[in-house]
Structure 1
C-alpha cells in the first residue's frame, strides 16, 4: 500500500506528523507548547519530539526557532532520548526543548520549519533520511496585570542594582579621575531586557569616558539569569561640581505580582581646578566660517574687477556715447530749451539737431521762431502761447524729417 505524508495528531497548538512510503515506516514529529499563554520576558518551553519504530543512527537536525522580538535559548541537556508505546509497539526517538522569551506583547508565528530525520529501515537496517515539516507554531504573549505602564517592560523574579565609586577620596584635582561602575542583576529573565543605566552628564567640570556595556547570561536548573555591567570614568577638567545622577529601574516581580523599583543613590563630587574659560562671543568655528565667506567674497570681487567690470564699463561708455551722438539727444536739448523759454539756448541747440536730422525746416518752425523772437526782442510781452506754438512746430518739423529719413515709417491713417 502506498501512503503519503499524513497528519495524525495535534496537541494544543503543536502538531504531530507521520511520513511513510512503500518500504518506509512512519516517522512522528510532534511540537507542543503549554496551554497557558506566555508572559513577556518569561520563558515558554517549546518541545519538539521525533519518534521512529527503529532507532536513529544520526541525531535529528532540529530547526532554529529564531524570529524577531523572540529570544531563543537551549537549556543544558536540551535534547533527551524518549520512548513511547504506539499501537502496542515501542517507538524511540529524541525530544528537543527550546526556551522562548517573548520581548514584546503580541502574536508570534513560527512557520516553514522542518526536522531532518535519519532512521534505520526495519528490514534492511539501511539509514533513510527525510525532512518532516512542522505545522505552524503560534502563540500570543501577554503583559501581566499592573505592568502595562512599564517602559521598558521588565518581568522577572528578581532585580538588583549595585555600584562602586573608585577615586572619590574627597575633592578631585585637575586631571584626577573618578570611575563609576554600576551592575544590574536579573533573575528569571534575560539580561537583554535591562536598559542603559549610567546617563550622560552635561557639565564642563569633567569629561566622561564610558566603556561599552558588558551583558552576560547564565542558567541554573532551568532558571535564566543575567547581568549588565556599565563603567564610566570621569576626568576632572575645570573647577566646579560633578553631579552623578541617581539611577532607578522599575520592574514587575513575578513572585509578588507587583511593580517594584530598584534604586541607586547619586553622588556629588567637588573639583578644585581653574575655572572653565568663558565661551567667546564668536566661536572658533564661526570665525572660520566668516573668514571663509569673506575670502570668497574678496576673490569674487577681484575676479569681477578683472573680468566683469571692464567690459561692463566699456559697454556703458559706448551706450552713453551713442546717446550723446544721437538725434534723440539733440532733439531733447531743443525741447528742454523751449520748455525753459530760453531762446538763446534754442538757437544753440537747433544747429546740432539739424545736423543729426537732415532736412529743410518747414515754414511753421521759422514762423514760430520769429514770433518768439518778436516777443523776446520787441516790446510785446513774452507770452506762453508763442512758446507753445514753437513747441508744436518743432514736433511737426521733427516728425516730417524723421519720416523722410526713414521711408519704412508709414504716415498716419487719419492725418489731421
Structure 2
C-alpha cells in the first residue's frame, strides 16, 4: 500500500515563490509507484490550502487556483489527518479530508525553514524530511549558526551583530564598532533570511548606513561580516543523518562578482552564460581544497545536528576556506549536485523519505514519561513545594 506524502510549500516569507518551485519539483519527481502526493500550499496570508490545481505550475502563473479548500492540521500527537477548516463548514464543524504518513516541508525562509513548521510536526509526532527544530532554527539564524561553528573551530569570517533597536538608538556606536573591529568593505545581512534578500556590500561609512537601513526592514537582528575579497564561491551538499553522511559534488556558480543576487540564484537558474554555463559541476578546484570542503561540510552538518540534505556554501580565497552558511532546505533540494553522481531526483527524494522514517523510528525509542509520585510529595497549600 502506497504511503501518503504531504508536500508543504509556499509560506509567509519573501522566499514564497522559490518555495513553490521547490515544492512542485518535488511533487513532479517523487516516486509515484511508492507514494501518493497531497499538495499543501500555504499562501501569503498564511492560509493552508489543498487542491488538484496546485499540481500544475501553469495555474500559479495564470492565477487559476480555483478549486482550493482551506484546511487545518492539529498539533496533537499521532493525529496525521487533514481537516477542512471549521469556518468553511457551517453545520458540522471540521471534516476529515485525508491523512498523511510523512511530510516533506519545502518552505524556504521565515515561518518554514526556521524550525516553526518542524515544531508543529514534532507535536503531531509525524515523520518529516529534513532538519529538526534545532538544526532548522540554528541554520536560519546566521549569528547563532556562526557562533556554533566557531565553537567547533570551524572557519568563519569575522563578524559583529546587533539588534535593530540598538541601531535606531545609537547609530554612531554601531558604526564605530564595525569600523574598529572589521573595517571596510563589509557585507550587511538580515540574520534570519535567505536567497540574498536584504544583503548589501558596503565599502564606506555612507554605504554602511544605507545597507543597514535596508537590512533592518527585513529583520530585527543584523549581522555585519568582514568581506573576503575576490573569493570563489564553492558549494557542497551533505546527505544523511547522525554521522552516516555523504557529500555531493562541489559546484562553483559563475557570472557573479561580489554577491549572488536573488535573480542570479533563481531567475537566471535556467539560463546560460556567455559560454553556455551558469555553474561548473564539479568545481575546478585542487584536490586538497575539495577534500577540505567535503570534510568541513560534514562537520558543519553535524555541528547543528542536521539530517536529510543540506547545502553548505563556502568562500575560497587562494588556500583559505571559510564556511559562509548552511542551507537546511536548499532550493530544489540541491538535486543538481547529486544527479552527476548518478543519484536521480527521484532517488534523492526516496532517500530523504527513508531517512525521515528511520530517524522517526529512532525518536520513538525515547522515553516521554517518568513515573514518580511527585504530586503526593508536594503540598502547595502549605507552600512546601521545593523542586
Q: Give TM-score, length-normalised by structure 2.
A: 0.21
Where is the helix percentage greater, Structure 1 or Structure 2? 2
Higher relative contact order (CA 8 A, sep 6+): 2
Q: Give TM-score, length-normalised by structure 1.
A: 0.20
Where is the strand percentage greater, Structure 1 or Structure 2? 1
Name the larger-Rg structure.
1
